[in-house]
Amino acid sequence: MWRGDASGGRFVDYEVATEEGMVVLDALREIQRTQAPDLAIRWNCKAAKCGSCSAEVNGKPRLTCKTRLDELGEGPIRVEPMRAFPVVRDLVTDVSWNYEVNKKIPPFTPKPDTEWRMGQADVDRVTEFRKCIECFLCQDVCHVLRDHDLKSQYFGPRFMVRIASLEMHPLDALDRTELLAHEGGIGLCNITKCCTEVCPEHIKITDNAIIALKERVVDRLYDPLPMLGRKLRGGG
């Protein structure tokens, strides 16, 4: 397990007796209880519903509460913090950037005189996006954020999902395509689908959120007919 802080750190070996059904978080808490009382980890619900216990397990971004030891095979297990975010201590990283991004997204804005009726199918469609537990594993694995550190230019998959949940809400009246195209930086995503692969909620981030939003951006901002319309009305 990686132990350290912002100034640096190293991998330290720990040995824990395992029991049936044990998950990585169980092992971490056992280490904390018996061998390293000051081990810094985040966890809350222990049921894959709060998205607190994210880390990289054997090189893969995972929820440690959902990762069973018996699915990792034989040999030592390597646990380290999410690498796309600055380390605070041990497995705890500074994810505050994500909360700043969220503030930039205009909230749900109902149409005037909305009649509050929706079909179950509409609900099911946005439910996929609203399932997100904000574990930020998709942000961690995203090349744009992790390898190129373009946090100032791209909101990241989590917030594409958030915007999708608003844009596809049947009663929302706002158009967030300008935001997506510019400050949100949706164009930087080159749809490698790494985010979809790591999502513990099985949200099809790339196919259902990002690609759908990219299409919206193209339709609304670059489609010749509406563009002409905007020009005639004196807009951009």
Partner 1 sequence: METHEYDVIVIGAGGAGLRAAIEASVLGARTALVCKSLLGKAHTVMAEGGIAASLGNVDADDNWRTHFQDTLFGGKYLNNWRMAELHAKEAPDRVRELEHWGGVFDRTPDGRMSQRAFGGHTYRRLVHIGDRTGLELIRTLQDKGVHQGIDVFMECTVTRLLKDGDRVCGAFGYWRSTGDFVVFRAKALVLATGGIGKSYRITSNSWEYTADGHALGYEAGAQLVDMEFVQFHPTGMVWPPGVVGLLVTEAVRGEGGILRNGEGERFMERFDPKRMELSTRDVVSRAIYTEVQEGRGSPHGGVYLDVSHLPASFVKRKLPSMYDQFLGLAGVDITREPMEIGPTCHYAMGGIKVDAETGASRVPGLFATGECSGGMHGANRLGGNSLSDLLVFGKRTGEGAAEYATHASTPVVDEAQVAAGEVEMLGYLDGEGEDPYALHAELQDTMQDDVDIFRERAQLERALAKLDELQSRAANLRPTGGRVFNPGWHLCRDLQNMLVCAQAVTRAALQREESRGAHSRLDFPEYDDFWGEHNLVVERGPDGGMRVEPAPVVKVAELETLVLERMAVELA
**Quick one: tokens of 126?**
């946005």
Rounded CA separation 39/92 (Å): 10
Least separation in angstroms between CB 82 and partner 1? 13
CA nearest neighbour of 170 among 224, 221, 124, 228: 124
User: Of the candidates 8, 74, 103, 225, which one interacts with partner 1 according to CB under 8 A?
Assistant: 103
Decide: 169 and 107 in contact? Cβ < 8 Å.
no
Phi first, then psi, for residue 60 (nearest 5°) are: -115, 135
> Applying CB under 8 A, which part among 121-129, 177-185, 187-195, 205-213 lies near partner 1?
121-129
User: Of the candidates 73, 107, 224, 234, which one interacts with partner 1 according to CB under 8 A?
Assistant: 107
40 binding partner 1? (CB under 8 A): yes
116 binding partner 1? (CB under 8 A): yes
Total residues interacting with partner 1, rule: CB under 8 A: 58
> Applying CB under 8 A, which part among 8-16, 18-26, 176-184, 190-198 lies near partner 1?
18-26
HSE-CB of 176 using CA atoms within 13 angstroms: 27
In this structure, the number of other CB atoms found within 10 A of the CB of residue 4 comes to 16
Decide: 164 and 208 in contact? Cβ < 8 Å.
yes
74 binding partner 1? (CB under 8 A): no
DSSP 52-79: --EEEETTEEEETTT-BGGGS-SS---E
16 binding partner 1? (CB under 8 A): no
Task: Using the structure block, give the residue that is written with the tokens 């990289």.
Answer: 56
Binding mask 124-143 for partner 1 (x = CB under 8 A): --xx--xx-xx---------
28 binding partner 1? (CB under 8 A): no
Interface residues toward partner 1, by CB under 8 A: 5, 19-23, 25-26, 32-34, 37-52, 66, 68, 88-90, 92, 94-96, 99, 102-103, 106-108, 110, 116-120, 123, 126-127, 130-131, 133-134, 166, 169, 172
